[in-house]
Each structure stands twice: as C-alpha cells, then as structure tokens.
C-alpha cells in the first residue's frame, strides 16, 4: 500500500486544491509544495529500503481489478524503474518551486502539475498491461493542458501537435496489447494482462514478433523522441512554461526509453536483436542530426530541445547494444539527462523571466551582471557535454563502451556527437555569458535569487555526485540489468526449425515449463 500512497498522493493533493478559493494563492502554492515535498521524501524511503541484490519486483501489490478479464491492479518496482520513479517525485517538487511566479490560474496550474505527477509515477509502477496503458494515456491530458494554457504564443499548435503525435503511436500499441492478451489466453488458458506472466510465457512466430515489436516501437520512439519522430518536441519545449519543459525533458521522454526496456526487449528478444542495426543507425542519425541542428538555433530553449534529440540518441544506442555496459549506461544517462537538461531549462527560464526573450543575440556579457548565474550555467553546460568528473561522462562512456563491443563503426560515429555537443554548448555559452555587454537591457539584470538557487543547487550536487561517485545509483539496477541481458542474449532464442510447418519460432520456454508456470500462476491467484 505504501507504493500506492506515494503514487496517488499528488492527485489527492490536486483534488484537495480544487476546494481552495482561487484567490488564496499563497495557500495553494504552499499546499502543492507540501504535497510534492512529502511525496519526494516518501519515495526516498523506497530507494533506501530497496534490495539491490535481486532483480525481482519489490514493494508490490496485486489485487483484482476487472476479474472477468484478468486485469489486476498490479504494481511494483525493480532496478530499472526505481530511479526514474524517484526522479519524477524530485523534479515535480523542483518544478512547483520554479512555478512560484506563475500569474495565471494558479490553482488549476498546481492541480495539473500534481495530476501529471501521478500519471507519470503510474507508468513506472504498472505491472499490468492495461493498467500501464491507462496511466500512459492519462499523463497526456495534464501535459496537454499545461502547454495549451500556460505556454507561449503558439501554445495551442504545440499542444495539439504533441497530443496527436503521442496518441497515434499509443493507438497502435493498444492494438498490440489486445493481440498479446488474446494470444496469452489462447496459449496458456489464462486470461491475464500481467506483464511478468506475459514476459515468461509469450511465444510467437518471429514474423508476428516483429509486427508487435514495431507497434510498441512507434509509441515509444515518438515519446523518446527518436529521429524522425522528433518534430513535436521543439515546438512543445519552446511553447511550454519552464516547469513544463523540465518535466517534459526530465520524465516524459524517459517513459519512451523505459518502454523499450520493459516491453520491447523482454517481450520480443529475438525481434529486438534483429532490429538492432536499424535502431543503431536511427540513434546515430539522431545524435548527429540533433547536434547539428542545435548548433544553428537562435532560441536558447529550442537549442536545448534539439540537444535532447541528440542525448536520447545515446540512450537508445546503449539500450540496443543489448549488453551490460550499454544498458547500464543508458539507465544512468536517463537520469543524467533529466538532471542536466532539466537544469538547463530552469536556467533558461531564469533569464526569460527577466528579459522575456530567449534569443541568443539579445544577450552577451551576462557573466558580468550575473556571476552566480554564469557559474551555475557553466557547470550544467559542462555536464551536458560529458566532462569527466560530471554525471554526463559516466553514462556516455558506458554507452560507447557497450556499443563498441558490438560494432566499432557505430561507436566511432556516435563519438562524433560528443564533439559536436561541445561545439554547440560552448559556443552558446560564449555568446550568452561573454563578449561585450552591449544591450542596455542586460545591464539592469539581477543575479539569481534564493528561490531560483533552491531549484538549481540540488541538481548541481547530483551532477558532481554521479560524476564522482556513481556507485549508489548504478548498484540499484545492476541485478535487473543482468537479468534483462540474459533474456535478450541470442543464445536463448536460436531459431528452431519446425519440421512439420517449416516455420521458425522464437521459443523461450518448453511446453512442460509453460504448463508448470501456468499452474503456478493459477494457484497464486486462487
């Protein structure tokens, strides 16, 4: 029940805020912050009490929801989902602090942020396919509202584009979920949407695997987003309020990479192996393309948005290395990107609040007026590049190490993204922070205040903590990664010739094992 409490506490807080008088803005902000802070502190206890030695789901709960269909309220966390879960509560708290100066519809804004938090948390704990889909779709609504109501001049266009892109991908995933549900019912005699049960029991011809893999791929690739499904992201980032951009970069994009790790790889290991070159080249194109497009941006926010396309390309490359180094690097880089890119959006928001412009040409010489801001920006920029001693280096090094073991050419091409990242980040930093202080508007700027520092300093601490001592984070998912790699190893799914039909099947378990597991599942649910 503890995990349920943490997950639904934000939306309970959102419901409570609905009864607050909208004129009482101070109480609304304080209550929202109290709920988010409590949720983060409670989630930390999950990390401290997590057993790193096992890949099994922990803090689980499995109760019947729609019994006739075999749909359960089944939740739990493993090493793959735990850190993403904690990061969600952490960034939600920081985003509420960063939103303290929001002027329009304060109550509704805070309600949307808290409801969004519950939707995102639900995605990471769901161990039932239909329950996962409910949370996956639910989080679209508050994000759509945040962009569409509190965004920039083209907010409606950006919100609609974001919604349509993600909804289309999700519909194909729903079709795949329904097919899997009936397939499992037919082959095992058990009507269930249990993800763990499906992972162990799904067995389909390779050609069917590939179609199902592609259905999940489209939903997750749009969410990441991978090239060429990325075009919604710059619009959404540019138009979203600062906190919306932080949540979008820090958590929502990670739901896509999480989907690949939770579904594509364990459900369809042979298809994942066969699609490895396809994903690798798409990721490399995304790395290089995102970096080159970032280099020519005039808008700070759009530059950071396109940099996410490049950084998430590294994450996808690590996932589809299909080895321990690659997946470990991808998981830690998920966290790193949420920290560094989230911090970049917060810092862009600081000067936007003062100047109401994000054009790089409007700045220059800010280090003279805002030295504390310049130092914070420098640290975050260097972490985004992947400077040794900072968090980005750990993830990128492991990813490149993992992919090098698979294909040296892929590793060499991906490495170019590191060089290009240094080019566009440092060039942007130079134009904003140095050069001459010519614009008279910039001469009036004040340095960061206490509230802004409160949002940035925890992220700076994490940048150095992960960069210098990543062990507490990486040991969290070591056991889960090893288990996942064992499932996607080619030795487990060597195509076996069916002499009667002439078809190749990806057989993961024998019929005897299948019958035994089915009996165990029925016994546990009676």
Digit-coded pLDDT (tens) for 95-128: 999 998 888 889 999 999 999 999 999 999 999 9
pLDDT value at residue 369: 87
158-175 pLDDT, tens per residue?
889 988 888 888 899 999
> What pLDDT, on the 0 to 100 scale, is given for residue 334?
92
Structure tokens at 185: 């019912």
The whole-number pLDDT of residue 514 equals 41
Q: What is the mean pLDDT of residues 408-436?
A: 90
Mean pLDDT of 443-469: 92
262 band by pLDDT with thresholds 50, 70 and 90? very high
Phi-psi region of 218 (alpha: psi -120 to 50; beta: other; left: phi over 0): alpha
Note the pLDDT of residue 438: 80
Segment among 78-87, 331-340, 510-519 with least mean pLDDT: 510-519
- The sign of the dihedral angle between the CA atoms of 456, 461, 466, 470 is negative
Percent residues over pLDDT 90 in the chain = 53
Mean pLDDT (the chain, rounded): 87
Which is nearest to 273 in space by CA: 315, 226, 321, 225? 321
| Helix orientation angle between 300-319 and 232-239, rounded to the nearest 10 degrees | 130
Q: List the chain domain ranges.
A: 275-492
pLDDT grade, residue 494 (50/70/90)?
Answer: low
Residue 206 to residue 436: CA distance in whole angstroms: 62
Alpha carbons 511 and 515: distance in angstroms, whole number? 6
Mean pLDDT (whole number) for 484-496:
70
Provide the β-strand partners of residue 205. Answer: 505
């Amino acid at each position: 029940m503890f995990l349920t409490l943490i997950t639904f506490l934000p939306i309970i807080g959102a419901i409570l805020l609905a009864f607050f008088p909208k004129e009482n803005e101070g109480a609304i902000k304080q209550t929202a912050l109290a709920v988010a802070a409590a949720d983060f502190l409670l989630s930390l206890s999950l990390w401290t009490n997590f057993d790193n030695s096992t890949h099994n789901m922990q803090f689980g709960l499995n109760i019947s929801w729609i019994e006739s269909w075999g749909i359960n309220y089944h939740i739990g966390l493993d090493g793959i989902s735990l850190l993403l879960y904690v990061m969600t509560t952490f960034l939600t708290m920081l985003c509420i602090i960063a939103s303290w100066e929001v002027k329009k519809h304060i109550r509704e804004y805070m309600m949307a942020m808290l409801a969004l938090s519950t939707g995102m948390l639900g995605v990471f704990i769901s161990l039932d396919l239909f329950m996962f889909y409910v949370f996956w779709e639910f989080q679209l609504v508050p994000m759509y509202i945040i962009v569409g109501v509190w965004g920039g001049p083209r907010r409606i266009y950006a919100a609609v584009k974001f919604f349509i892109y993600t909804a289309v991908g999700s519909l194909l995933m729903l079709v795949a979920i329904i097919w899997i549900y009936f397939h499992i019912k037919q082959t095992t005699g058990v009507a269930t949407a249990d993800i763990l049960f499906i992972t162990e029991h799904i067995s389909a011809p390779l050609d069917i695997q590939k179609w199902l893999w592609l259905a999940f791929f489209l939903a997750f690739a749009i969410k990441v987003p991978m090239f060429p499904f990325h075009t919604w992201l710059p619009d959404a980032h540019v138009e979203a309020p600062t906190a919306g951009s932080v949540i979008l970069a820090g958590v929502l994009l990670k739901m896509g990479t999480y989907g690949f790790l939770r579904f594509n790889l364990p459900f369809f290991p042979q298809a994942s192996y066969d699609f490895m070159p396809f994903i690798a080249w798409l990721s490399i194109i995304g790395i290089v393309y995102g970096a080159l497009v970032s280099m020519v941006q005039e808008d700070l926010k759009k530059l950071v948005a396109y940099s996410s396309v490049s950084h998430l390309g590294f994450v996808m490359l690590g996932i589809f290395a299909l080895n321990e180094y690659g997946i470990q690097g991808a998981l830690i880089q998920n966290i790193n990107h949420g920290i560094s890119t989230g911090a970049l959006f917060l810092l862009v928001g600081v000067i936007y609040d003062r100047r109401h412009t994000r054009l790089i040409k409007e700045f220059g010489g800010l280090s003279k007026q805002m030295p504390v801001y310049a130092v914070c920006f420098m640290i975050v920029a260097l972490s985004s590049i992947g400077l040794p001693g900072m968090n980005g280096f750990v993830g990128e090094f492991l990813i490149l190490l993992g992919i090098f073991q698979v294909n040296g050419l892929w590793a060499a091409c991906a490495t170019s993204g590191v060089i290009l990242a240094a080019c566009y980040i440092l060039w942007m930093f130079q134009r904003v922070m140095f050069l001459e202080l010519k614009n008279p508007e910039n001469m009036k700027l004040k340095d960061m205040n206490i509230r802004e520092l409160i949002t940035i300093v925890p992220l700076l601490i994490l940048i150095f903590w992960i960069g210098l001592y990543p062990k507490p984070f990486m040991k969290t998912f070591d056991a889960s990664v090893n288990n996942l790699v064992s499932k996607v190893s080619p030795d487990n799914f060597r195509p076996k010739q069916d002499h009667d039909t002439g078809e190749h099947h990806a057989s993961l378990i024998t019929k005897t094992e299948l019958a035994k597991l089915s009996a165990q599942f029925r016994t546990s649910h009676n």
